[in-house]
Amino acid sequence: MFKAMPIKRLRLALASAAVALLTAACIGFPADPTWGTMMLVGSPPRIMFAFNDRIVQVNPVDGSLVELRDSEGRVRLDEQGNPRVWEVRSAGANGPATFYTAPIIVDEDTLLVAAFDRRMYQVDWPAARILNPDGIALAGHIVANPLATENMLYVPFSEGDLVALRRPGFSEVWTLDTPRGIWSEPVLVDGTLYVASLDHHLYALDAETGAERWRLDLRGALASKPVYYEGHLYIGSFGRRFFKIAPTGQIVAEYETRGWVWGSPALVDGVLYGADLDGYVYALRDQGTRFTPLWEPRQVATGAIRATPVVANNTLIIGSRDRMMYWLSRITGEELVRRQMVGEVLGDLLLLEPSETLNIREPMVVVSTMTQEELLVAFTVETGERLWVYRR
Amino acid sequence: MDLILNPFVTLLTFLYSVLGNNMVLAIVVFTIIVRLLMYPLTAQQLRSSKAMQKLQPELKALQEKYKNDREKLAQEQMRMYREYGINPLGGCLPLLIQLPIFLALYQAIIHVLAANPTQLIDLSGRLLIPGLERSIPLNNMWLGMNLTQPPNLGDGTGTIIGIGLVVLVVVTTYIQFKVTMPPPTPSDDGKPNQAQAMTQSMGTIMPLMYGFFALSFSVGISIYFIVSNLVGIAQYALMGQANFGNLFGRGAPAPAAPSGPARVEGKAAVPAGKPGRKSSTRPATRKNN
């Protein structure tokens, strides 16, 4: 075939293919910058899920979108007579916004949502309506959830600062400037704000004034929220370590991992459960000044494990970038069940337990992916049976 | 692609860590290293291109002779290539080999400058040397500009630098294209032929296209484009193949027919204008460009 084809045409075809490939490589492949966030809100409880171009509320019983109702409880209808669902989208003068962080509950009628495109929106919660379509300009991108208290709002920016705002007017009170940005939610304990930064430092600040109490170099970027448990802080770093830290800023214990640690650990009954980006899962007994493995670290997944493991009874539930969900024995680390997903599991898992207000039959774990076919998937905790899927 | 990409990402991160955590310097050195490693292929590509150009008069004669018989023309062309020891794809194959290398180089810069969580997660599995994670995340600020973002053209000093970078991309791309373009072969009627006209158009379109890329892509990639172009120009100059006269429209045209036997890579000299004859024992006359 090539012999018969004129050489010039063949060279032109090859050159065109080269240019096309080069252009494709230059343009790159669009992808969401980060994963979605779930939170349980309201009464009866609903799953609020922020991802990509919208925020929705999903019924935890069956995964259906929550319908809008008027003050008398009647379902609101659109012009075609279809039920309106609770869904927030923005299409203001700046174009459609994208949402990846948890909305901030201002009061029972109002939410604040930070969009990735550096804008903040006020939302009428019952009506799912954005009150300021053009948004309020922010100083940078936000990839981590802001922390809201009764009086303050702490907003972490991915390029550098953490800004403390006083409620209700949201006036700026103080700012923490870090050279590499903050990709995790701060933690407030007894008036001290703990902030983990990509600049390798864990900061302890006076929550009211922003005065620095101490900072600790943990020899690797920190992308996860510290966990406060029985008087100490626990956190993992890209430096391949789990740390136990005293409130005074000293490292009490540390444990070396195989891969970078991104997600926050889970602490239950004196045992730290965590995972790393090489797919290893750890169960470490906290024995004061050292960690000892409950069982040998296991490479459970072939992809990164970013999310915090869910601990439910004697089961450890893990989601991985290799598009799998794993159920492990908390006691032995042995794999019990695995389930195939369509998309990568990078967002945090949500554990739901039956209660008077949450009308579900049995404990379930809800998983988010970055794939439209399986944005949210609910499994039973015990057997990993798939209960429902929310898709777009 | 990971076979090439991961070592590149590792090398770039390593350079960053040993060059004082300077990302721009790391990109510059990294680009130079990779271009130097690609030098043998670049030289091979140039030699093939030169050899093809020398055969142009012979090929043109064949095209005229067999203009109504494409199959015969193709056969005669292939026979001539074989006889003179030329691989017609010799200029393309090095390019195709280099292409994934350059794509990996470009992608390595994007991966290392991970600007968001999705990109940083991806980076985690690519560093082949333990300990390099201590450099993560890399410092992506330079002269007030974020290397992971396109140039911000509405921001004071940043505007001047951003525009300057875009202009440099356009200019260096234009210069590289011009100086590496072979001199035009005059046609019988004195007018540029279709291929030359297309090449001329490419010389205008490509720099503008890259300028558009520079506006749309990250500042780090613009720096890579500039350095890559400059290294390319330097390589051609060192090989004595840079046609700087083309910049000013004074590039000497290639001769319509060689005055002596054409010398072909790997083969003894063959008489000019006499396709199909085996090589004689006469020494070749090297033509200067």
User: How far apart are alpha carbons A182 and A163 in whole angstroms?
Assistant: 11
CA angle, A187 then A192 then A195, to 5°: 45
d(CA A58, CA A47): 5
Contact B116 A304 (CB under 8 A): no
- The pLDDT score that the predictor gives to residue A348 is 94
Residue A158, domain member (yes or no): no
**A&B contacts, CB < 8 Å:** 96
Q: Determine the distance in angstroms separating the CA of B239 from the nearest CA of chain A, rounded to an integer.
A: 24
Q: Which residues pair with A115 in a beta bridge?
A: A99, A119
Q: How far is B259 from chain A (nearest CA, A)?
A: 26
Hey, which residues 224-263 in chain A have their CB within 8 Å of chain B? 238-240, 259-260, 262
Q: Is A208 exposed, middle or buried (0-12, 13-18, 19+ CB in 10 A)?
A: middle
- Angle between helices B39-54 and B56-65 in degrees, nearest 10: 50
Interface of B with A in 217-256 (CB under 8 A): 217, 221
- Note the Cα B21 to chain centre separation in Å: 29
Q: Give a yes or no: residue A197 inside a domain.
A: no
Share of residues in chain B with pLDDT > 70 (%): 73
**Would you place residue B250 in the very low, low, confident or very high pLDDT band (cuts 50, 70, 90)?**
low
DSSP state of A77: B
> Which residues constitute the domain of residue A19?
1-31
Comparing C-alpha atoms, which of A273, A281, A284, A317 is closest to residue A299? Answer: A281
CB B115 within 8 A of CB B12: no
Residues of A in contact with B217 (CB under 8 A): 26
Nearest chain A Cα distance for residue B281, angstroms: 30
What integer pLDDT is reported at residue A161 of this predicted model? 92
Q: Is A30 an 8 Å CB contact of chain B?
A: no
* pLDDT tens sequence across B143-153: 888 888 888 77
Interchain contact A15–B (C-beta under 8 A): yes
Would an 8 Å CB–CB cutoff place B71 in contact with chain A?
A: yes
A3, A143, A219: residue with CB nearest B74: A3
Spatial separation of the C-alpha atoms in residues A272 and A291, rounded to whole Å: 9
**Which residue of B lies nearest to A28 if distances are taken between CA atoms?**
B107
Residue B62 structure tokens:
């064949």
Kindly write down the DSSP assignment for every residue of A270-285, as one continuous string. TEEEEE-TTSEEEEEE
3-state secondary structure of B216: helix
Identify whether A290 is part of a domain: no
C-alpha pair distances (Å), B236 with each of A162, B176, B177, B222, B233: 50, 9, 11, 21, 5
Of the candidates A31, A220, A259, which has its C-beta nearest B134's C-beta? Answer: A220
Strand locations in B11-146 (E)? 141-142, 145-146
Mark yes or no for CB contact B136/A21 under 8 Å: no
Residue of B74, B99, B118 lying closest to A18 (CB–CB): B99
For residue A264, give the 3-state DSSP assignment: coil
Residue from B8, B120, B126 to probe the interface with A (highest A Cβ count within 10 Å): B120
Higher pLDDT, A300 or B193: A300
Within 8 A of B139 by CB-CB distance, chain A residues are 179-180
Query: Is the CB of residue B239 less than 8 Å from the CB of residue B46?
Result: yes
CB contact at 8 A, B255 and B287: yes
Tokens of A290: 């050292």
Tokens (6 digits) for B220: 């780090």
Nearest-10 crossing angle of helices B157-179, B219-238: 30
> What pLDDT shows up at residue A250?
97
Beta-strand pair A266-268/A271-275 = antiparallel
With contacts defined as CB-CB under 8 Å, which chain B residues touch A10?
Answer: 88-89
- The beta-carbon neighbor of B137 closest among A22, A198, A321 is A198
Q: Is A9 a domain residue?
A: yes
Distance CA A339, CA A351 (A): 17
Instruction: State how far residue B266 is from chain A, nearest Cα, in angstroms.
Output: 21
Residue B118 token pair: 């999705």
Structure tokens at B256: 């319509």
> Which residues in chain B have their CB less than 8 angstroms from residue A277's CB?
121, 124-125
pLDDT digits (tens, 9 = 90+) for B31-51: 999 888 888 877 777 777 777
pLDDT reading at B281 higher than 60: no
Q: How far apart are CA A91 and CA A310, in angstroms?
A: 36
**Residue A150 placed within a domain:** no
3-state helix, strand and coil shares in percent for chain B, rounded to the nearest 5: 60, 0, 35
- Residue A351 in domain: no
B68 touching A (Cβ < 8 Å): no
pTM of the model: 0.81
At B177, which amino acid appears?
F
For residues A358 and A366, the answer to whether their CB atoms sit within 8 Å is no
pLDDT at B267: 43
Tell me whether residue A293 is in a domain: no
- Give the closest of A221, A278, A346 to B137, CB-based: A221
Provide the number of structural domains found in chain A: 1
**pLDDT averaged over every residue in chain B:** 77
Given a contact cutoff of 8 angstroms between Cβ atoms, the answer to whether A201 and A217 are in contact is: yes
The DSSP secondary-structure symbol of B185 reads P
**What confidence score (pLDDT) does residue B34 get?**
86
d(CA A265, CA A274): 5
Cα of B125 to nearest chain A Cα, Å: 7
Using CB atoms, pick whichever of A6, A10, A239 lies closest to residue B133.
Answer: A239
Q: What is the pLDDT along chain A (392 residues), one digit of tens a residue?
A: 444 445 555 555 555 555 545 554 444 444 788 899 999 999 889 999 999 989 999 999 999 999 998 888 889 888 899 999 999 998 766 678 889 999 999 888 999 999 988 889 999 999 999 998 888 888 888 999 999 999 999 999 998 899 999 988 889 999 999 998 999 999 999 999 999 999 999 999 999 999 999 999 999 999 999 999 999 999 999 999 999 999 999 999 999 999 999 999 999 999 999 999 999 999 999 999 999 999 999 999 999 999 999 999 899 999 999 999 999 999 999 999 999 999 999 999 999 999 888 888 899 999 999 999 999 999 999 999 999 999 98
| Mean pLDDT, residues B162-183 | 86
* Residue among B71, B91, B99 minimizing CB distance to A21: B99
| Residue at A26 is within a domain | yes
Out of B77, B103, B137, name the one closest to residue A21 (CB): B103
pLDDT band at B227 (very low <50, low <70, confident <90, very high): very high
Give which of A9, A11, A2 is closest to B78, Cα–Cα: A2
**pLDDT confidence of residue A9:** 55
